[in-house]
């Protein structure tokens, strides 16, 4: 499995070096959250270069129980990871919670990056991390995609 945004023959090729810098190599970005009428933003550490993140991302793919023969297709991998970031039906990475009661886990507002979340999921053998909301799901999804694009 190797997705290479620098290779013209790869489906995920990005013709613009500026886009590769932003969408593949930038390990810190802005995450937006809130409602239609009240939008906030915060810095998010994608952490795709962290030495344990690649193993955690492969673990997510393995936990999906999808045939690894499909892992060479970037469209298929995006669909798998998209399903696996949210836990309810796939035993995925994060359990969503919008109730305001986070006493059995971590408040979504605590998270400022994906590294701790993915490492906790991996360390706990695929037990969903508590808790996430939309922007946390988006941050973790982005990290997995950037990591897989940089895989060895």
Q: What are the pLDDT digits (tens) for 62-109? A: 999 999 888 889 999 999 999 999 977 778 999 999 999 999 999 999
Cα of 116 vs its chain's centroid, Å: 11
Query: Is the Cβ–Cβ distance between 45 and 26 less than 8 Å?
Result: no
pTM: 0.92
Q: What's the pLDDT tens digit per position in 39-71?
A: 999 999 999 999 999 999 999 999 999 998 888
Q: What's the pLDDT tens digit per position in 6-35?
A: 989 988 999 999 999 998 899 999 999 988
Cα of 105 vs its chain's centroid, Å: 19
Q: Is the pLDDT of residue 1 over 60?
A: no
The structural domains of the chain, with segments of one domain joined by +, span: 17-149
- CATH topology (fold) of 17-149: Coagulation Factor XIII; Chain A, domain 2 (3.90.260)
Query: CA torsion sign, 19 to 25 to 28 to 34?
Result: positive
């Amino acid at each position: 499995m190797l997705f290479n945004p620098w290779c013209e023959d790869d489906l995920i090729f990005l013709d613009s070096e500026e886009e590769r810098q932003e969408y593949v190599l930038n390990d810190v970005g802005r995450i937006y959250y809130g409602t239609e009428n009240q939008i906030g933003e915060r810095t998010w550490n994608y952490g795709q270069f962290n030495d344990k993140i690649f193993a955690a991302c492969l673990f997510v793919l393995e936990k999906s129980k999808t045939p690894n023969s499909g892992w060479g297709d970037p469209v298929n991998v995006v669909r798998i990871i998209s399903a696996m970031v949210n836990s309810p039906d796939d035993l995925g990475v994060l359990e969503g919670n919008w109730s305001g009661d986070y006493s059995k886990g971590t408040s979504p507002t605590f998270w400022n990056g994906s590294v701790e979340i993915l490492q906790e999921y991996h360390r706990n053998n695929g037990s969903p991390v508590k808790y996430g909301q939309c922007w946390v799901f988006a941050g973790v999804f982005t990290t997995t995609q950037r990591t897989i694009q940089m895989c060895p």
